[in-house]
Amino acid sequence: MFTENRSLFFDTTNGVAVEATINLGRGSFRTFKVIFDAGLENTAVLGVQIEVPNPSLVCQTADLDTAPAVTHATTIEIASVAYKIINRSDDGTGISTLTLQKL
């Protein structure tokens, strides 16, 4: 595990990171800082290349581990837009990537 201060990357005052609010269920919510990417992905449909939404976020794994209810289908809100987590990938260095689907 790296010992660097990762929180510097998730500073909302630098214009890169934003706050996300995750729904932990039973009326419990948690807000943490993420780097959000509302990007597009190229894919082939019936032999035609199209761009489809591919939203994702990067966050500190510790922010997810303190909320054990964070699994597939957990909902998260970023900039008043609701998403569902469809994949979680922890890189082993304390950083996680969540692939999202807009609700």
* pLDDT tens-digit readout, 28-84: 888 999 999 998 878 888 888 888 888 999 999 888 876 666 778 889 999 999 999
What's the CATH class of domain 6-102?
A: mainly beta
Backbone angles phi, psi at 6, to 5 degrees: -70, -20
- Could you tell me the residue ranges of all domains in the chain? 6-102
User: For residue 24, what are the CA distances in angstroms to 4, 64, 71, 86, 95?
Assistant: 28, 11, 10, 15, 20
User: 11-31, pLDDT tens digit by residue?
Assistant: 888 778 999 999 888 888 889
